[in-house]
Amino acid sequence: MADEPLAELGMKTPLECADTPNMDMMAAKGTLGLVETIPSGFAPGSDVANLSVLGYDPHSAYTGRGPLEAANMNVKLGPDDVAFRCNLVTIDDGKMADYSAGHISSAEAEQIILDLDRKFGSDSVRFVPGISYRHLTVWKKGSDSAETTPPHDIVGSRIDNYLPKGAGSEDIRSLMASTREFLSSHPVNLARIERGKAPANSVWLWGQGRAPRIEPLSARYNLKGGIISAVNLLNGIGVYAGLEVIKVEGATGYIDTNYEGKARRALESLRELDFVFVHVEAPDEMGHEGNVQGKIGAIEDFDKKVLGPVLREIPQLGDFRILVLSDHPTPIRIRTHSSGPSPFAVFSSVDKENMAKGLTFGEAQAGMSGIRIAPGHLLMDYFIRGWGEFVDEKCGARRS
């Protein structure tokens, strides 16, 4: 949800314009600051950012996006397997017209992916269906060295300039090209075109990697935790982190997601678990679409429908801490991720753990707080081991 000031919003960000009384309460009465989730030298992806959010140093934990999504899909990777994120995309006149094929439904997408696997799958290559436009391709004895580009970074650009490059890229490009002719006449796409919807007329392979080695949070902190997300990538990180993947009916990863259901399941789960990570994708999707009012609305929905119910009901479970943050900025101006710091707020039921300064939750106010966590993976350690220790000693935080 983090962004940049926009002229059309009076040089405020969507977050600063949104009505967010619950996040503002946390910022005013709790502890507000900035966190750097993207280390220098890493592309600003949700994979790297959310590893940082969950307390993992990407320098040692990150091998690529594909294997993280594979974990959530129960796809076991052998030592010589390379997992690629496989987007269903729309290419028009040689340009990336839509990185999501019009946010194709999971039912339509599953039919396409299974047909691709029947047509192009082999002992070496498999296509595995996921959710909406987000799927997986596993390549046995494949190369993980090619330079690939996320499709949401090149909307409106000619794809020729962004096709896979380097070692092993020729086979990847060949497979992508082979799918286009097949998909151009696929019944699902013909039906979508008739309804005026974007066809999934190509696959786009990116984010490849081999299985990482990650210490579960359950082992590190001796806790039981869960994760709630509609995004395979996030759930895959959760699997490696030793978290229970908690499903919520109607969770879509878009603005029509079941916000209330996520809050309800989080509260239910906390009766048995010590820790729950709740992820909402809608503000990010609005950033990718360049939809200012949509992003403001998604932020307000999160505040009202997710955070509000949790704050009201969690005191019934005893003492608690709540951390709210944006995993990375997705600025409207560039319609993709950026590496800048994001605001965070921690609110504790134990008053002495709060550094109340009366600020509101937003990028500028967070910058005024004097608290900046870098590297970002330290934030989770402070949060779980004891925020009071951070408040008392400011350990590891850069303060101005």
Q: Quick: pLDDT tens for 331-364.
A: 999 999 999 999 999 999 999 999 999 999 999 9
Task: Please report the pLDDT score of residue 398 as a whole number.
Answer: 42
Contacts by residues 189-195 (CB-CB < 8 Å, ≥ 24 positions apart): 189/112, 192/102, 192/104, 192/108
Task: Please report the pLDDT score of residue 395 as a whole number.
Answer: 41
Task: Please report the pLDDT score of residue 397 as a whole number.
Answer: 46
Q: Is the pLDDT of residue 388 over 70?
A: no
- The DSSP result for 299-312, as a single string, is HHHIIIIIIHHHHH
Q: Judge contact between 142 and 208, C-beta under 8 A.
A: yes
Average pLDDT of the residues in 303-331: 97
Task: At 30, list the tokens.
Answer: 């709790």
Q: Is the pLDDT of residue 400 over 50?
A: no
- pLDDT band for 275, please (50, 70, 90 cuts): very high
How do beta strands 342-348 and 31-35 pair?
antiparallel
Task: At 389, list the tokens.
Answer: 């220790």
Q: Which residues of 193-209 are buried (b: 16+ CB within 10 A; e: fewer)?
A: eeeebbbbbbbbbbbbb
Task: Please report the pLDDT score of residue 385 as a whole number.
Answer: 87
Q: Determine the distance from the C-alpha atom of residue 339 to the mean position of all C-alpha atoms in its chain, rounded to a whole number.
A: 14
Q: Judge contact between 70 and 77, C-beta under 8 A.
A: yes
Task: Please report the pLDDT score of residue 386 as a whole number.
Answer: 77
Q: Judge contact between 138 and 144, C-beta under 8 A.
A: no
Over the Cα atoms of the chain, what is R_g? 21
Task: Please report the pLDDT score of residue 393 as a whole number.
Answer: 56
Domain locations in the chain?
7-62+213-399, 86-209
- Share the mean pLDDT of the chain: 94
Q: Is the pLDDT of residue 394 over 70?
A: no
Q: Judge contact between 136 and 86, C-beta under 8 A.
A: yes
Q: Judge contact between 323 and 344, C-beta under 8 A.
A: yes
272, amino acid identity: E
Q: Which residues of 140-153 are buried (b: 16+ CB within 10 A; e: fewer)?
A: eebbbebebbbbbb
Name the DSSP class of 81. E
The CATH class, in words, for 7-62+213-399 is alpha beta
Query: pTM score, two decimals?
Result: 0.82
pLDDT in tens, 16-75: 999 999 999 999 999 999 999 999 999 999 999 999 999 999 999 999 989 998 998 889
Q: Is the pLDDT of residue 383 over 50?
A: yes
Q: Is the pLDDT of residue 104 over 80?
A: yes
Average pLDDT of the residues in 272-292: 96
Task: Please report the pLDDT score of residue 317 as a whole number.
Answer: 97
Stretch (H or E) spanning 34? strand 31-35
Task: Please report the pLDDT score of residue 391 as a whole number.
Answer: 65
Q: Judge contact between 336 and 286, C-beta under 8 A.
A: no
Give the residue with greater pLDDT, 13 vs 153: 13
HSE, CB side, 13 Å, CA atoms: give it for residue 316.
9
Task: Please report the pLDDT score of residue 72 as a whole number.
Answer: 85
Q: Is the pLDDT of residue 111 over 70?
A: yes
Burial class (CB in 10 A: 0-12, 13-18, 19+), 182: middle
pLDDT in tens, 197-241: 999 999 999 999 999 989 999 899 999 999 999 988 899 999 999
Average pLDDT of the residues in 288-310: 97
